[in-house]
Amino acid sequence: MKERFVRWVLSARVPISLIVIVLMIPTLYFATRVSMDFDVERYFPEGDRDMATFLEFKKKFRAPDGAVSLFWWEKNGVTPGTLVEMERVATIFRREGLGDIYWVKRAMEEYGTKSLERFIREQGKNRFLEGIIWNRQKNVFVITAHLPRSMNTDAGRKRLEGRLDTLLRRFRHSGRTLILTGEPIIRSKYLKLMARDQVVLLGGGVLITFFLMYLFLGSVVQSLMTLVAVIPSYCMVLALLAITGRPITAIMSMVPLILLVVGLSDTIHILMPFRERMRLSPSLGVHKKEGMIVNTFGEIMGSCFFTSLTTSLGFLSLSLARIEVVTDFSIATSLGIMLTFVFSMILFPLILRYAPAPRQLVPGRPGFFSFFSTFSVIRSLIIVSLMALVSLIFYFPARQVTMESHILNDLRRGAPLLKDLNHVQGAGFGVFQVNLYLRGDHRGIDPRLFVFNEKIEAFSRKFPFITKVLSLNSFVEEGFRRRGLAFSPSMAGSLGAAHLKQQVDSWAQQEKSLRSVYHPSTGSTQVMITIKDVGSKKLEPFIRKLQAFAQKQGKAFSPKVTGTAYLSGRTYERLMAGFLLSLAAVGILIFIILLLAGRSLPLAIIALFPNLFPLLALLGVVGFFSYPLTPASLLVFTVALSLVVDDTVHLLTHLALRRSQYSRVEDLFRKVFSVSGKAVILTSLVIAAGFSVMMLSTFQTIFDMGFLIVIAMFFALVGDLLLLPALYYLAHRLNIL
């Protein structure tokens, strides 16, 4: 049946070529219309109560995703001259469309003070202003503004960040540091990093893999064959993303390189037996060449299908995490891999038919593979014992593997964005928030709310990474203070719920900043807890304690912890649960594929060990070097398992075809290695080299995938060339096979 399909492809080569060309016209049209987006909410859990609470919260309060802040350091202290320059920056903010601009000059106007020196002297200990317009030491000042919702789009953020970066250059000089940040700025810079990664990863991957392929094959056409399948496959994936309204996210930038590397594996396993046939019969007519193509694809198509299916299902299993961006990535990659297989089986026979014969390379030395087959069999007990010992050695550091997640988890430590964030946090500011949402009553404000807020503020300030706590109390106390009056939470009861709401509603009309914690029409409020990005080991216990404390102290208000920092933690919990599910699913699928490829239950069980060994080795290396894993990078283990099994499937297919032809195990593996051994080594090398390009990425998850898969491929090669023959021989001696 497979041979019949290939003959049909060769006979219908002209209409097939025309169909592919015509199909690519609308595909390219839609592919060019796909958008890029780094929306943090795409990483949040879908369809649960926490997300519903967050969406309800966002409708009532101005989300922090529109805040733009400029942090201003002066080495010699802020002077009246500095104030003039800050006013020019505030004017630039206004001209660029930003609103609600708040900084020290505006605060001075509100307090009726014209002298900066006097204002700092009188209000220097004002806890309300600290963290809003300056830090505790008064050596860093802040200009904060908000981007209107109409401008808070990819294009709007990109334009704003580019314009502000250009306009602020003239204000930077020796002795002064300016850092522009905030979610709109961060998201714009993310998009630039994503675009850079697309160029570097795909360009670098193509160059490295082409160099290696040409080095081994000596043919430009055969070295570039994979692109003929990968390019239309990736274009179709992009077209489907555009049609379904899905954007390219940070994690999606890995897809073309993954398709290239996975496609190369099938290309190599097709080319090696075809080239061997060509080497043995170099002078052939077209018909005999077509016969060789038919025989080669008939022999290899089944194992290529199994390997593509295994890798495709491995990526698809990542969708079990139920995180929108991970689901999009898993479906796009899974679909792209199967499309690459389809295009390979259709287009490669046509290319090989018309491609000129490559220069004749020296045939692979049979002694090399003969050594592995003989050594693995003769020393099988030693090899298995040694591998068991190595596995035991890896087991102990593997137990020490730890995980740590940050809010900006995607960025590597040396990234400029993280350096800016650390600089800001070092000055005592926080960029991110944990929000405590309290549903209100439109008829009045419960006086007990102020006592509850006071307890939450006191509780939160016990944690050193909390930089600022703002609640309705903060604004009401400040409102009374500006009028020369004192206010304490205990006074609220004497004012009454209706009078309190009337007074606060009146202030909310005058002071827009009050609406950041109070929603007049519903009476809902929030407590804004500004935090440093200290990592999940510190932040998660705080959130759990805050939730328990708030539920205990404020049952009447049904307090709910929400916000981007809280939902980020929930995302990582989902990733952990999804990792275990996807790994289990992939393990089962791989066993089924090994069973189908090897056509033997004992052989499938034996083949599992060379594929589990790289994962244990991976954990051991990570634990030994104390390499920090993130929940997102855990998913790499599922991907690695899907990739390392590919060569095993090809070896099993050849074992199943030839095991009845040889009585001696040494001869069997000598023949199997002579047919596919060179392809196994070359694919392992090419996959490792291709994924190593990912280590140039600015994103930690992409770097982890490259770093960990390079290690996995090395140990997978050891397992295939040494452990698999040794286990097979021992099973054969014990009459298990």
For 539-575, the pLDDT digits (tens) are 989 999 999 999 999 888 889 999 878 887 777 777 7
> What distances in angstroms separate CA 124 from CA 116, 163, 176, 462, one per listed residue?
11, 34, 22, 22
Residue 202 lies in a domain: no
Instruction: Judge whether 230 and 256 are in contact, CB under 8 Å.
Output: yes
Instruction: Judge whether 376 and 721 are in contact, CB under 8 Å.
Output: yes
pLDDT tier, 529 (very low <50, low <70, confident <90, very high otherwise): very high
- Tokens standing for residue 3: 């041979």
Residue 101 lies in a domain: yes
Query: Average pLDDT, stretch 258-287?
Result: 77
Residue 56 lies in a domain: no
One domain for residues 503 and 359 = no
pLDDT of residue 549: 94
Beta bridge partners of 432: 531
Residue 564 lies in a domain: no
One domain for residues 397 and 458 = no
- Tokens standing for residue 48: 């649960």
pLDDT of residue 143: 94
Average pLDDT of the chain is 83
pLDDT tier, 243 (very low <50, low <70, confident <90, very high otherwise): very high
Residue 290 lies in a domain: yes
CATH code of the domain in which 288 resides: 1.20.1640.10
> What distances in angstroms separate CA 156 from CA 146, 292, 381, 392, 531, one per listed residue?
13, 57, 66, 55, 27
- Tokens standing for residue 383: 């090899």
pLDDT of residue 685: 87
pLDDT of residue 361: 47
One domain for residues 286 and 386 = yes
Among 254-258, 263-267, 281-285, 303-307, which is the least confidently predicted range?
281-285
Q: Spell out the SS3 assignment of 40-101.
A: HHHHCECCCHHHHHHHHHHHHCCCHHHEEEEEEEECCCCCHHHHHHHHHHHHHHHHCCCEEE
pLDDT of residue 404: 78
Burial letters 542-558, b for 16+ CB under 10 A, else e: bbeebbeebeebbeebe
Query: Average pLDDT, stretch 591-617?
Result: 87
pLDDT of residue 42: 64
pLDDT of residue 271: 85
Instruction: Judge whether 449 and 472 are in contact, CB under 8 Å.
Output: yes
pLDDT of residue 393: 92
Whether pTM exceeds 0.75: yes
One domain for residues 227 and 365 = yes
Taking alpha carbons only, the member of 155, 176, 178, 148 closest to residue 166 is 178
Scanning the structure block, which residue is given the tokens 């309060």? 61
pLDDT tier, 358 (very low <50, low <70, confident <90, very high otherwise): low
One domain for residues 14 and 163 = no
- Counted domains in the chain: 3
Backbone phi, then psi, for 566, in 5-degree steps? -65, -45
One domain for residues 552 and 587 = no
pLDDT at 473 over 80: yes
User: For the segment 689-705, what is each residue's pLDDT rounded down to a tens digit?
Assistant: 888 888 888 887 788 88
Please identify, among 537, 557, 577, the residue that sits at the C-terminal boundary of a domain. Answer: 557
One domain for residues 651 and 717 = yes
One domain for residues 251 and 373 = yes
Distance CA 531, CA 428 (A): 10
Cβ contacts of 317 within 8 Å, gap of 6 or more: 330, 581, 582, 583, 585, 586, 589, 638
pLDDT of residue 269: 84
One domain for residues 553 and 642 = no
Instruction: Judge whether 457 and 550 are in contact, CB under 8 Å.
Output: no
pLDDT of residue 424: 87
Cβ contacts of 102 within 8 Å, gap of 6 or more: 132, 133, 143, 144, 145, 513
Please identify, among 496, 529, 557, the residue that sits at the C-terminal boundary of a domain. Answer: 557
Q: Which residue has the higher pLDDT, 634 or 656?
A: 656
pLDDT of residue 153: 80
One domain for residues 82 and 171 = yes
Residue 430 lies in a domain: no
pLDDT of residue 63: 60
* 477-486 own/partner pairs: CB under 8 Å, 24+ apart: 477/128, 478/128, 479/507, 479/511, 482/110, 482/111
pLDDT of residue 696: 86
Residue 116 lies in a domain: yes
Among 103-107, 366-370, 657-661, which is the least confidently predicted range?
366-370
pLDDT of residue 47: 64
Instruction: Judge whether 527 and 475 are in contact, CB under 8 Å.
Output: no
pLDDT of residue 548: 94
Scanning the structure block, which residue is given the tokens 């239309």? 232
Query: Average pLDDT, stretch 344-373?
Result: 70
Residue 431 lies in a domain: no
> What distances in angstroms separate CA 613 from CA 102, 590, 718, one per listed residue?
58, 14, 9
pLDDT of residue 53: 87
Beta bridge partners of 181: 69
Range of the structural domain that residue 473 is part of: 440-557
User: For the segment 616-636, what is each residue's pLDDT rounded down to a tens digit?
Assistant: 898 898 888 887 777 667 767
One domain for residues 462 and 401 = no
User: For the segment 390-443, what is each residue's pLDDT rounded down to a tens digit?
Assistant: 999 999 998 888 777 777 766 777 778 888 888 888 888 887 889 999 988 767
pLDDT of residue 559: 92
Please identify, among 557, 581, 614, the residue that sits at the C-terminal boundary of a domain. Answer: 557
- Range ranked top by mean pLDDT from 45-49, 273-277, 680-684: 680-684
Angle at 607 between CA 605 and CA 609, to 5 degrees: 85
pLDDT at 167 over 90: yes
Distance CA 691, CA 693 (A): 5
Q: What is the DSSP letter of 114?
A: -
One domain for residues 257 and 400 = yes
Q: Please report the sign of the dihedral spanned by the C-alpha atoms of residue 631, residue 632, residue 634, residue 638.
A: positive
> What distances in angstroms separate CA 232 from CA 10, 118, 453, 598, one per listed residue?
20, 68, 58, 32
Taking alpha carbons only, the member of 340, 359, 338, 342 closest to residue 222 is 359
Q: Which residue has the higher pLDDT, 156 or 657?
A: 156
Which residue stretches of 245-323 are H helix? 255-280, 286-316
- Tokens standing for residue 329: 């990535």
Distance CA 568, CA 632 (A): 12
Distance CA 686, CA 205 (A): 10
pLDDT at 652 over 60: yes
pLDDT of residue 362: 45
pLDDT tier, 339 (very low <50, low <70, confident <90, very high otherwise): very high
